[in-house]
Chains A and B, each alone.
Chain A
């Protein structure tokens, strides 16, 4: 069936309207480009909007938080996989990028001396400084700012309910050999039932996330079907570190409506929180100093050994914090306010006793964030070549930002960094995309669009007996088992077989012959993207021959921080999927050792603290809480962080009239 086609012209297309897409669109438009923002979900409805709303702002909590300190922190936490130029860019722009959000309406709590936004009391897990700034109404506050950035107009047009299907490229030749350049993209506008062919020299892919590759559910948006990675890979772009999927350790395991939602972060466990297996044995101590990956791995090892909790997890036990008479009330307050949105979810799901931290919480890992992504330079331009690569070897005109971009966090992303990432690289990629559009002359041949258009027209009206939504669910369940938080060579082989089988069945999916909001076609397109992502993750996971960060191999050793670091790179070309390694620069041994020593020291101090007699421990902790939260913290009238009118007034939450 032939669907009606419209042709449009823009300087820059931004795919995705979340934090990175909103900032990219605004930055490109402010730099003079005419921008089209495209998103499949309603404008601004993204992981940024539903996040905990905590951003990394360098210098907000510590005087000595220099650019070097933050950049090195990110790089080392990421197992030396991040590209130093990229972590430097993050550190350099974190404050100015955050301030752009403020000009769009984000209003944080300001420090008493009026010098800037107030940081949360403790450094978030893995951060070497206090620098995480929280916001009232969590991510929703960021959602409003992003919405304003796009909807205001001022050279940004937007379409929602529109699936960006594929990039359109042309082959060109430059000094370094054959190369591709972007000439536009093809969009399925479901709400109007038309295809839109957009001629544009620059495209920013800001549609990251692939956690919907996994079932059981996660705390992220349904729409995280890996579209950005799959679209870029099909156009020939390099993807890096695709094995590095971040699983949040503390997601709820029950009841079903809450399964997978985030209940908290390591920092919330505070000084005395530990993880226990079903027999009550401690499987991880000093939880609040651990990375997400360390916590998730500990839980999964217990599950794999048959010591898991009834719903396939473990117990996050914070009761020791609470039972101390003097410091306990301070901990209660800390726990409530540390991650208000997660705490609220946990309270609703687990009940009063759990909300008072008087019983352990049953938790299990859930897919959350994807560290891997489109290989790029520090401006988000698609990159290729050896080592850290460069834009000259990437696809000309292709840019990326936010969760879609690789090379920022490597093997582990620290809490509160993703909102900043979206702002920093959204801003950079938007500006770079506008500059590229200015430099690009000449009209492209519309013929380049034809193969993509033909492919879509062939799918509408495809006869078959299978439903894409059903295949999707099967794929999600298998992905969790085989390329999820626990991987082995055997599992990876099994996944390869399943991907091949499922790919072959794409031709048997039934797709009715009408244009207007064709759900079967939408499911088909997302399934296709998920399959490409599954392949990229599986290939990278095989290449990464040992556990590192978000990639946990139960049949291999952990890769030492002192060994030569490398990133995996996968790409799709005429010969199929290719995988290779990219050498990364290791942090100088001296720095690496001092980082490890510091880390060990903090853990030993904590161990000592835990072993002290109860009374001494209580007084020491009281002093610490008072130092970070202020002496009156528990007497303050507790203002709810989400200040909605009242539960009774929320007409949307009850079917009772």
Chain B
């Protein structure tokens, strides 16, 4: 099975063809199996992230044919093109720099404020804790793209890109999910709930108005459980879809 792997070394990009040798006739390898075999054979210094091989750690996300997938649980197919996630700046081969996302949450996370820890969280809370932070949801997110002048990091001159070490200015479905978790947690005080909503608006929640919606790598209903919940709570504080369309037209 032949695939193409995009590699970046010391800033130089190249596309390398790799021929995967199936270990049995009926083997349907995952994308990660292909990368591991490439590393064990012809590309020993291939840089890529992986962790648990079981879709739990969330670090092995790469783009296959231009769409983000979790490499350990997505099957590879003949002719696939493997490249680093386009939504974050590439560092080496298939490795992207992720930390600009988490850093934007610094100072925005609330810890529990209630005294009695023995309270049950609602089912929605647990649906959100199934997020593995794979960042597949950044794909086509207009809020996230504001960080890169409305495009992708690759479209910008590296010198003009925002510094991830500062934390990105604009949010994304993952950061909204973390904020919505705070809002759903029964141990969060009312003030904490309000702060979480303020933070969502500050991170650019208005970008969600009129957006067709985000897709989750592990299948969480981001649009319903996160985005709609926050947009509804924000109410008048966000422009309506009509106002937004008008603004765009002018």
- Pick the contact of B118 from A115, A139, A190, A655 — CB < 8 Å? A115
Choose the segment among B103-111, B193-201, B228-236, B238-246 that binds chain A (4+ C-beta atoms closer than 8 Å). B103-111
Q: Can you list, as one digit per residue, whether each of B1-35 has a CB less than 8 Å from chain A (1) or not (0)?
A: 00000000111000000000001000101111100
Assembly CA distance A139 to B54 (angstroms)? 12
Q: Is the CB of A652 within 8 A of B112?
A: no
CB of A136 within 8 A of CB of B47, answer: no
Cα-based distance from A143 to B51 in the complex (angstroms): 14
Are the C-beta atoms of A517 and B91 separated by less than 8 Å? yes
A652 near B51 with CB under 8 A, answer no
* Closest residue of B by beta carbon distance from A44: B133
Closest to A150 in B: B102
**Docked complex Cα distance between A138 and B56 (Å):** 9
B46 near A50 with CB under 8 A, answer no
CB-CB under 8 A for A107 and B121, given A49-B56, A261-B53: yes
Residue of A nearest to B217 (CB): A652
- The segment out of A217-225, A393-401, A446-454 that lies at the interface is A217-225
A655 B57 Cβ-Cβ under 8 A: no
- A516-B91, A519-B93 known; A652 and B119 CB under 8 Å? no
A residues 607-657 in Cβ contact with B at 8 Å? 642-655, 657
| Cα(A357)–Cα(B59), bound, Å | 32
A523 contacts B136, C-beta separation under 8 Å: no
Least CB distance, B71 to chain A, in whole angstroms: 9
Give Cα distance in the complex from A605 to B215, angstroms.
53
B134 interface residue per 8 A CB criterion: yes
Whether A257 pairs with B29 at a CB distance below 8 angstroms is: yes
Choice from B102, B119, B217, B219 contacting A43 with Cβ under 8 Å = B102
In the bound complex, residues from chain A placing their C-beta under 8 Å from that of B27 are 255-256
Q: How far is the CB of A135 from chain B (nearest CB, A)?
A: 8
Write out the residue numbers on chain B whose beta carbons fall within 8 Å of the beta carbon of A136. Answer: 126, 129
Q: Does B146 contact A (CB under 8 A)?
A: no
Task: Indicate with 1 or 0, residue by residue over A106-148, a CB within 8 angstroms of chain B CB atoms.
Answer: 0101100011110000000000000000001111110110011
Binds A, one of B61-69, B149-157, B204-212: B61-69
B97 with A151: CB separation less than 8 A: no
Q: Say yes or no: is B143 at the interface (Cβ < 8 Å to chain A).
A: no
> Which of chain B's residues has its CB closest to A260's CB?
B53
- A41 an interface residue at 8 Å Cβ cutoff? yes
Interface-centre pick from B67, B75, B133 (highest chain A CB count, 10 A): B133
Collect the chain B residues with CB atoms within 8 Å of residue A191's CB: 91, 97, 99
Q: With A144-B181, A642-B130, A649-B216 in contact, do A102 and B51 touch (Cβ < 8 Å)?
A: no
In contact, B45 and A520 (Cβ under 8 angstroms): yes
Q: Knowing A45-B59, A110-B118, A470-B44 touch, does A50 contact B134 (C-beta < 8 A)? A: no
Determine how close the nearest CB of chain A comes to the CB of B178; give it in whole angstroms.
Answer: 8
Q: Tell whether A222 pairs with B23 under 8 Å between CB atoms, given A651-B217, A652-B74, A653-B69.
A: no
Q: Chain B residues near A107 (CB, 8 Å)?
A: 120-121, 125-126, 129, 185
Q: Tell whether A161 is near chain B: CB-to-CB under 8 Å.
A: yes
Known: A516-B91, A644-B220. A105 touches B185 (CB 8 A): yes
Interface hits, B54-106 → A, CB 8 Å: 54-59, 61, 64-65, 67-70, 72-77, 80, 91-93, 95, 97-99, 102-103, 105-106
Residues of B within 8 A of A217 (CB): 53
Let me know if A153 is at the binding interface, CB within 8 A: yes
Complex CA gap A221/B56 in Å reads 10
Q: How distant is the Cα of A139 from the Cα of B181 in the complex, in angstroms? A: 17
The yes or no answer to A302 lying at the interface (CB within 8 A) is no
B57 touches A50 (CB 8 A): yes
A467 within 8 A of B: yes
B69–A103 touching, CB < 8 Å: no
- With A114-B118, A136-B126, A517-B47 as known contacts, state yes or no: A257 contacts B53, CB within 8 Å: yes
Complex Cα–Cα for A657 and B91 (A): 26
Say yes or no: is A543 at the interface (Cβ < 8 Å to chain B).
no
Instruction: Output the least CB separation between A366 and chain B (Å).
Output: 11
Cβ A43 vs Cβ B74 within 8 A: no
A174 at the interface (CB under 8 A from B): no
Q: Could you tell me the distance between the alpha carbons of A50 and B74 in the complex, rounded to whole angstroms?
A: 18
Output the least CB separation between A227 and chain B (Å): 15
Nearest Cβ on chain B to A203's Cβ, whole angstroms: 22
Distance (whole angstroms) from the CB of B233 to the closest CB of chain A? 20
Contacting pair A137 B129 (CB below 8 A)? yes
Q: Which residues of B have CB within 8 Å of A514?
A: 9-10
Contact with B along A22-53 (1 / 0, CB 8 A): 00000000000000000001111110011000
A160 at the interface (CB under 8 A from B): yes
* A468 and B47 alpha carbons, distance in the complex (Å): 13
A44, A104, A144, A261: residue with the most chain B Cβ atoms closer than 10 Å:
A144
B44, B59, B61, B98: which contacts A652 (Cβ < 8 A)?
Answer: B61
Which residues of the other chain, B, contact A652 by a CB distance below 8 angstroms? Answer: 55, 61, 68-70, 73-74, 134, 136, 216-218
Partner of B219, one of A137, A161, A341, A649: A649
Contact pick for A523, options B11, B45, B49, CB 8 Å: B45
Given contacts A103-B112, A222-B50, A652-B136, contact A467 B98 (CB under 8 A): no
A105-B111 contact given A43-B99, A512-B10, CB 8 Å threshold: yes
| Contact indicator A221/B52 (Cβ below 8 Å) | yes
CB-defined contacts of A644 to chain B, threshold 8 Å: 127, 130, 218-220
Query: Is B160's beta carbon under 8 Å from chain A?
Result: no
A462 CB within 8 Å of chain B: no
> Complex: how many Å from CA A45 to CA B102?
12
* Interfacial residues of chain B within 153-206, with CB under 8 A of chain A in the complex: 165, 181, 185, 187
B216 and A105 contact, CB distance less than 8 A: no
CB <8 Å contact, B69 and A519: no
Add 16 more A-B contacts to A107-B126, A136-B129, A650-B219 (CB < 8 A): A42-B98, A103-B117, A107-B121, A137-B130, A140-B131, A140-B132, A144-B131, A151-B102, A151-B106, A219-B54, A256-B23, A257-B29, A643-B126, A644-B127, A652-B68, A655-B77
